[in-house]
């Protein structure tokens, strides 16, 4: 007999990428989802230092469509850190009370904060199974030998309190295999976006393409290279700017494509100065744009580029693939093995290699048809990397850890 399962999801704050998935889970008739947030700062509005201190208030609903609560807090200064936000009452909430039943399973996002560890320990002390999801992968920032030893010891201990992990993709799965062993339960819950939403918004943008082209003073016959992310050092937009300059057919001659930069951050002033020094007139800085605006920029793009280092995933890639656009990305982006095959949906180049990035741009822009065909193959691929796969795997994880039949 099918049983209704009470699922708690513990996460630091409402996240724009996660809200659509939480709404989708809440539609399952036999899963009673309650999201426990440590902070509400992303709902109130805040200054994102990654966007250069720009005030951010997301224009997509973050709390609609699913049950949620904000845990009482000792510390909440609108930032994320090891001990921020710092909540209390997690044990009592998971246990339930007079009018509430205890949860059947707890899903925790991340493992490196006090709140996450508090939730994991509280759940296990109550005999509640714990599922863990995080973005980590092995090709991450370099660490000293002592730190790596400490990390292995930490995971050896943590493993005792976890009943299963929910890898977001191939590289994250390899991470869990490395630290937890090949026999530890894994349930692939792909890092996906709301494909239907982004495909719909992209279709809606098409009739207004000329308006944005006029706004940015773009000749519609010229291709567009798009960068859309935070202007931080690790995003390597400077590499893309240098590669764009190398597309010039001769000294003093403009590259044929435009280069459109959407985003803000600590590197913006430097990038604007270098763009001005180049003397090239095809570069456009558009500043921070909210999530609902991005499909307009996807629509005018010929190719999207993410040249990052140490990119845990890169959900912007999922979004732009739903617009049917070719993607060029570095091999240091976590999404690469799952979403982009070199020469198929776009191009892949070694992170930091400007010569290789320049060559990738030339390949993708070789003919008008090249990028179109890559984008179409990308749209087909992303359609099978969706919330529906998330739901199937989450149901399997719940069934295996709670021993309740829900599928």
Residues 56 and 162 in one domain: yes
Residues 292 and 340 in one domain: yes
Residues 184 and 220 in one domain: no
Low pLDDT (below 50) residues in the chain: 1, 51-52
Token code pair at residue 102: 């205890």
Summarize pLDDT for 165-188 with one digit per residue, the tens. 999 999 999 999 999 999 999 999
Phi, psi of 9 (to 5 degrees): -115, 115
Residues 151 and 266 in one domain: no
In a domain, 173, yes or no: yes
**What's the confidence (pLDDT) of residue 252?**
85
Going 82 to 393 to 137 to 305, the CA torsion angle's sign is: negative
Residues 211 and 345 in one domain: yes
Strand pairing partners for 329?
Answer: 306, 348
Residues 215 and 284 in one domain: yes
Q: Which of 334, 330, 354 is nearest to 342 (CA)?
A: 330
Residues 170 and 201 in one domain: no
In a domain, 407, yes or no: no
In a domain, 22, yes or no: yes
Owning domain of residue 180:
5-192+386-402
Our count of domains for the chain comes to: 2
Q: Would you say 111 and 120 are in contact if contact means Cβ atoms under 8 Å apart? A: yes
Residues 212 and 356 in one domain: yes
Cis bond leading into 134, ω under 30°? no
Strand pairing partners for 73?
Answer: 87
The end-to-end CA distance of the chain, in Å, is 10
Residues 218 and 132 in one domain: no
Give the integer Cα–Cα distance in Å for 111 and 82.
10
Residues 284 and 216 in one domain: yes
Give the integer Cα–Cα distance in Å for 223 and 8.
47
**What's the confidence (pLDDT) of residue 51?**
46
CATH number (domain holding residue 103) = 3.40.50.2000
Q: Would you say 52 and 261 are in contact if contact means Cβ atoms under 8 Å apart? A: no
Residues 164 and 47 in one domain: yes
In a domain, 374, yes or no: yes
In a domain, 309, yes or no: yes
Phi, psi of 154 (to 5 degrees): -60, -45
Question: What's the maximum distance between 2 C-alpha atoms anywhere in the chain?
Answer: 77
Residues 214 and 138 in one domain: no
Give the integer Cα–Cα distance in Å for 101 and 106.
13
In a domain, 84, yes or no: yes
Give the integer Cα–Cα distance in Å for 374 and 359.
16
In a domain, 342, yes or no: yes
**What's the confidence (pLDDT) of residue 72?**
93
In a domain, 312, yes or no: yes
- Enter the pTM of the model: 0.92
């Amino acid at each position: 007999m099918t049983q209704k399962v009470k699922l708690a999801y513990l996460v630091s704050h409402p996240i724009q990428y996660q809200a659509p998935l939480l709404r989708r889970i809440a539609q399952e008739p036999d899963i009673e989802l309650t999201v426990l947030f440590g902070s509400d700062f992303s709902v109130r509005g805040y200054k994102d230092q990654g966007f250069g201190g720009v005030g951010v208030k997301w224009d997509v609903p973050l709390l609609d469509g699913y049950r949620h609560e904000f845990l009482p807090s000792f510390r909440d200064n609108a930032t994320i850190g090891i001990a921020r936000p710092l909540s209390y009452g997690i044990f009592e909430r998971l246990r339930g009370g007079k009018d509430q039943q205890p949860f059947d399973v707890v899903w925790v996002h991340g493992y490196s904060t006090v709140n996450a560890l508090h939730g994991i320990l509280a759940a296990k002390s109550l005999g509640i199974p714990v599922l863990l999801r995080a973005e980590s992968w092995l090709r991450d920032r370099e660490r000293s030998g002592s730190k790596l030893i400490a990390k292995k010891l930490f995971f050896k201990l943590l493993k005792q309190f976890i009943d299963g992990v929910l890898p977001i993709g191939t590289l994250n799965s390899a991470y869990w295999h490395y630290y937890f062993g090949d026999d530890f339960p894994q349930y692939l819950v792909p890092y996906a976006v709301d494909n239907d939403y982004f495909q719909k918004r992209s279709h809606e943008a098409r009739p207004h393409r000329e308006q944005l082209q006029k706004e940015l003073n773009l000749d519609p016959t010229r291709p567009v290279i798009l960068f859309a992310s935070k202007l931080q050092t690790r995003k390597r937009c400077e590499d893309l700017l240098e590669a764009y300059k190398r597309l010039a057919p001769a000294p003093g001659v403009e590259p044929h494509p435009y280069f459109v930069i959407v985003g803000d951050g600590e590197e913006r002033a430097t990038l604007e100065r270098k763009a001005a020094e180049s003397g090239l007139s095809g570069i456009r800085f558009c500043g921070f744009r909210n999530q609902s605006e991005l499909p307009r920029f996807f629509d005018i793009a010929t190719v999207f580029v993410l040249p990052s280092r140490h990119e845990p995933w890169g959900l912007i890639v999922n979004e732009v693939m739903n617009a049917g656009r070719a993607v060029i990305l570095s091999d240091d982006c976590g999404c690469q093995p799952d979403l982009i095959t070199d020469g198929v949906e776009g191009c892949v180049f070694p992170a930091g290699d400007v010569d290789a990035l320049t060559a990738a741009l030339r390949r993708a822009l070789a003919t008008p048809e090249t990028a179109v065909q890559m984008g179409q193959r990308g749209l087909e691929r992303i359609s099978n990397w969706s919330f529906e796969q998330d739901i199937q795997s989450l149901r399997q994880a719940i069934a295996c850890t709670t021993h309740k039949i829900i599928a």
